Amino acid sequence: MQFVVMQWVSQEVMPNSIYGVFDNDNSRQLPSPSPTGHWQACRVIDEKRFKFAREAREAIADFGYYLMGVSVPITEAFDEPPRSN
């Protein structure tokens, strides 16, 4: 499965802190956490590289999407090397 990852953008929340995930083959509309923001495309990632793939698959099967707040560095969640400065 490939996941589409969307990032919630709003002045009311810390940047890069809320993500919505859905199956690339069955896109869904994500719920809006507040009326003063919007979803922005972030990336498409293979489930093998997504740390929370099992949880995402279960939520997508039940609800059509998976919402996550970042509890680990995003590079770790998506199995990417840390960016060098």
Tokens of 1: 């499965």
State the pLDDT at residue 71.
65
pTM: 0.80
What sign results for the dihedral spanned by CA atoms 57, 61, 65, 69?
negative
Report the distance separating Cα 18 and Cα 10, nearest Å. 10
Q: Are 46 and 11 in contact (CB under 8 A)?
A: no
Segment 12-43, tens digit of pLDDT: 888 888 899 999 998 778 888 888 999 999 88
